[in-house]
Structure 1
C-alpha cells in the first residue's frame, strides 16, 4: 500500500496533520473539516511570471541548465518560462513554490 506524501509547511504542522488524519479515519472529524485542515497545513502553490522565475533562478545563482536539472525539466522549458512563452504547472509549479518559500536547496 502506498502512502501519501505531503509537502508540509512545517514539522509542527506535519505532526498536527497526521493526528487529524487519524481522527478523520475513526470518524471524529468529517471530510469537509479535513479538507479545510489540509489547506492550512500543506504548502500553498504560488504563481510565477517570467520575471519571478528568472529572479528565483538568479537568486540561487544557477544557470538555466542547472536550474532545469534541479526541477527535472529541460533547459528549453526554463527558457520558455523566463520568456513568458509558457507557464509552469503541475509538479514543476509545486517545486518552484517550495524553492521560493524555502530556497532552492530545499528541493535539491
Structure 2
C-alpha cells in the first residue's frame, strides 16, 4: 500500500475530513491533500506525529516501514 493510501485509510478510520486530520496533526489542509494525492510526503518529525496520532487512535501505522519504502523508491 502506498503512503498516500495509508494516510487516506488512517483518516477514514478516524472518520475525519482532511481539514480535521490536518488540525489534529498541526499541518495545513493543503499538506494533507498533497500527501493523499501523492505529490509530497511528510518529513521525519511529522511522520513521528502521525505515528503518535495512530497509536492514540489504536491504528497500526509502521513508520519504519514507510521510511524503508521511501528509501527504496
Task: Give the TM-score taking structure 1 as reference length.
Answer: 0.48
- Please name the residue that 1:82 is paired with: 36
Count of matched residue positions in the alignment of Structure 1 and Structure 2 = 57
Mapping of 1:85-104 within 5 angstroms?
A: 85-103=39-57
SS at structure 1 position matched to 2:33: helix
- Taking the aligned partners of 2:25 and 2:12, their CA distance within structure 1 comes to 15
Relative contact order higher in (CA < 8 Å, ≥ 6 apart): 2
Structure 1 residues 12-43: Cα deviation after superposition (integer angstroms, max 9, x where no partner): xxxxxxxxxxxxxxxxxxxxxxxxxxxxxxxx
Structure 2: runs of 5+ lacking an equivalent:
59-73
Question: Does 2:34 match 1:52?
Answer: no
- Please name the residue that 1:61 is paired with: 15
Structure 1 residues 51-79: Cα deviation after superposition (integer angstroms, max 9, x where no partner): 00000011011000010011000000000
Structure 1: runs of 5+ lacking an equivalent:
1-47
User: Which of the two has higher C-alpha Rg?
Assistant: 1
